[in-house]
Amino acid sequence: MSDQDRAAGDRSSLSGLMLASHAPLDDAQRAGRMKCSRCGASRMFYCYSCCALVGLEPRDVPSVKLPVKIDIIKHPNETDGKSTAIQARILAPQDVTIYTYPCIPELDQSAENIVLVFPGPDAMTVEELWDYFSAGGAQRSKRLKAAASETHTCPIQRVVFIDSTWNQTTRIITDERLQALPHVELKSRRTCFWRRQKGSPDTYLATIEAVYYFLKDLHHHYFSEYTGEYDNLLFFFSFLHKLINKAKLAAGKV
């Protein structure tokens, strides 16, 4: 696939998103990098070390409410400045938590229906979640009935993602603390990430893309027709994508 074809595909997959105004990001970008008020490091838009906005006020960025809790386990060798996981934490602070491995969240499967988003031979689709948990014993079925009696029929309460390059995932995915979690595999989508892993196919998504697409599919299957409820998770991602593509175009690389 040519660079021109890939760029066209990227634009189409990010087009039509229902996003908050990027005007504050335009202003912050023109103002340039600023020091983080917490650690003093020079940053643009947010500090990935402190999980804090830089050159922006809270009112400048959207706050996204999610239907489930999201836990992201980040590989210790994953470069903070290159990871998109922090964007999920900043945009959905009430529902997203990031852990740096070997720290992982407390995963009590007796209290919650929990899944790990990771491909594999035994991985199910989002659509198959209800059947899996309804056949999983009295406790799981009870939680499904409780969910169905509320305003939605979501079969899960917590989702775990791994933030790592594919070459580094083995250390985390084989951790005994995660072995009991059922796996969910996302349907194939092309990434728009500008830092694609060398030699990897374009279906390897950035973490923020994986979170977004999982929630979009979850909403479609268990809530109602999707009408942009989680599009703002791509608020920073789509803006940076636009900036980088613009710079590539100016340099004659696209």
pLDDT tens digits, one per residue of 22-72: 999 999 999 999 999 999 999 999 999 999 999 999 999 999 999 999 999
Whose tokens are 């083995």? That residue is 170
Burial bucket for residue 215 (CB in 10 Å: 0-12, 13-18, 19+): buried
- Work out the number of other CB atoms within 10 angstroms of the CB of residue 87: 25
List, for residues 70-112, the tens digit of each pLDDT value.
999 999 998 888 899 999 999 999 999 999 999 999 999 999 9
Q: Is the pLDDT of residue 151 over 60?
A: no
pLDDT at residue number 188: 84
pLDDT at residue number 139: 58
pLDDT at residue number 140: 61
pLDDT at residue number 247: 80
Q: What is the length of the chain?
A: 254
Q: How many CA atoms lie within 13 A of 76 on its CB side?
A: 6
Instruction: Kindly indicate the confidence band of residue 5, based on its pLDDT and cuts at 50, 70 and 90.
Output: very low
Determine which of 20-24, 131-135, 161-165, 207-211 has the lowest per-residue pLDDT on average: 131-135
- As a whole number, the mean pLDDT across the chain is 88
Q: Is the pLDDT of residue 6 over 70?
A: no
CA dihedral sign of residues 58, 62, 68, 72? negative
Whole-model pTM: value is 0.89
